[in-house]
A and B are shown apart, each in its own frame.
Chain A
Amino acid sequence: MKKGKVLHWLWAGILLGVLNVVVMNVHVANRPIGASTMFPYLGGLITHLKNAAYMQVIAKPGNWELYFLIGAFIGGLVSSLAFGDFKLKLVPSRWSKVKGENKGKRILWAAIGGFLLILGARLAGGCTSGHILSGGMQLSVSSLTFGVVVIISFLITGKLFYGRAK
């Protein structure tokens, strides 16, 4: 299938901003967009930890984010199928240009990265969605601080890990 036209970054940003304001409406969700609480919530449901202290803290947002991300998964699936982007692929082409085609290496770093990503998000109480997008929208000091710390850590890691990428 012919690939669809990419949504311009400015429209994507404006649409995401409008979506977050709609989600915030008291008659819609009365909370901002968020994603990372789903991970401990689903992890806790699978391992039957429903009564653990943290599970009780996150029960409501975890449940909301689970359904939100089910929708996001369906959105990604439908949209990638409709526009010809769907492809079963393990090693991204940009990764292989710098790190090579080795599947084990990609699996190892995806595992380490995924683990640190969610551990970090839970320690900080949010992620790119809940802190940076939603906290940024509210001029929240915690979220703006998180954004600055993340960008510094992200770019230093990028420099050390990928070096002078071609």
Chain B
Amino acid sequence: MIKVIILGFLFGIILQRSRVNTFEKIGGFAMLKDFTVPKILLASIATSAILLLIEMQFGAANLHVKPFILGGIIVGGILFGIGMATLGYCPGTLIVSIGEGRLDAIIGTIFGLIAGWIYILIFPSIKSLLGPNLGKINLYSGSTVITFLIVLLYSAVLFYLAFYLDKKESQL
């Protein structure tokens, strides 16, 4: 329990110190005025993709891939994008921003809790509408060598995109 709180504490500090939790950065991305959000996401994914694969070679980590439930992913993704653009926070940054004293983040959290509560109530009736479930698939290959090449290429592309956005941002 204390361990999980410490991990969350580190998460909160990284988000807060990079200012990526703020409306200025998330709303600013929706206005195409600030690319901090995609740059940090891309750099994080690129770093962790390589490190995770190395960690897995030592048997120190397992994959936890979420199932590809097509209907839920598409409908949920559309609603999530609309919500994130108008609110200017996502679920994790919402909580970090409450810590920073942002009152609009408290409003967003209260209505997020209401949405969560409603989801519990409607879950039995919508469960079957979310499909089809295409399984827990990822882009790893059966061969470790090819998987390493795929992940290296993937990370290189993501880092390239992050630096490309950084350059574009400096020209705004």
Contact = CB atoms under 8 A, between A and B. Distances in A.
A135 to B, nearest CB: 6
A146 B9 CA distance: 27
B129 to A, nearest CB: 10
Interface in B1-60: 1, 3-24, 27-33, 36, 38-49, 51-52, 55, 59-60
B90 to A, nearest CB: 4
B112 interface: yes
A88 B108 contact: no
Contacts of A112: 83, 86-87, 111
Contacts of A140: 65-66, 68, 136-138
From DSSP, what is the main secondary structure of chain B's interface residues? helix
B107 interface: yes
Contact of A153 (B38, B81, B96, B140): B81
Interface string B103-120: 111011111111111111
Given A12-B14, A107-B104, A123-B130, A18 B48 contact: yes
Contacts of A165: 31-33
Interface in A40-66: 40-44, 46-47, 49, 52-55, 57, 64
Contacts of B42: 13
A153 B39 contact: no
Given A24-B55, A157-B30, A119 B1 contact: no
B76 A4 contact: no
Nearest to A66: B4
A128 B117 contact: no
Contact of A150 (B32, B80, B107): B80
25 contacts: A7-B14, A7-B17, A9-B18, A12-B40, A16-B43, A20-B48, A20-B52, A21-B61, A24-B55, A29-B4, A39-B113, A39-B115, A49-B120, A67-B8, A72-B99, A75-B13, A77-B100, A94-B28, A114-B83, A125-B72, A136-B49, A137-B45, A157-B85, A157-B86, A158-B85
Interface of B: 1, 3-24, 27-33, 36, 38-49, 51-52, 55, 59-69, 72-105, 107-121, 123-124, 126, 130, 134, 136-140, 150-151, 154, 162, 166
Interface of A: 4, 6-33, 35-36, 38-44, 46-47, 49, 52-55, 57, 64, 67-80, 83, 85-95, 98, 106-107, 109-146, 148-158, 161-162, 165
